[in-house]
Amino acid sequence: MVSMQKDVDDLGLPWLNPLLKATYFINCEFHWGFKSSECNMFCLDCMGNPFCSHCLMDHEDHRVVQVNDIQNYINISGVQTYISKRAERIVYLNERPRIFSYQRRPSTCEICCRSLPGSVRFCSLSCKVRGQNKSFKKGSEDKHEQEQPNN
């Protein structure tokens, strides 16, 4: 099995692995007493820990994303989305645990086999990254085989 680190590195997005491994929606250790101190932002330039809106000044002139807005930086098509209580479209960053049901679903995640509704291919962004990486590697291997001269 290929590691998530290797899959992400092959895509040329150095910030993607730290973004996927980070823990979000916890209280900021520096602003825990303030309103809106939930860590839901990530700096694509620093690639450190998530931070809250009060820490934003430390990242002036950096590419900062709210986790909810990651779709502006990476294509999330084919990934199952949900609507939050605040009517925001959300996507899971990491693989979701499989749920077992007697109800048959028409499709499953191509990576972890979680049941999915409709025509989506992946349950999370990390599964899509792994799926794209498999496709990329397969295409490269096929091309390499075609270029080899027959002896």
At 67-99, the pLDDT tens digits run 778 878 888 889 998 887 877 778 888 887 776
Domains of the chain in sequence order: 1-67 (3.30.160), 75-144 (no CATH)
User: What does pTM read for this prediction?
Assistant: 0.68
Mean per-residue pLDDT over the chain, rounded: 79
H/E run at residue 109: none
Per-residue pLDDT at 54 exceeds 90:
yes
What is the 3 state secondary structure string of 13-56?
CCCHHHHHHCCCCCECCCCCCCCCCECCEEECCCCCCCECHHHH
**Sign, CA torsion 116/99/67/130:** negative
The pLDDT of residue 99 is: 66
Residues 5 and 16: their CA atoms lie apart, in Å, by: 9
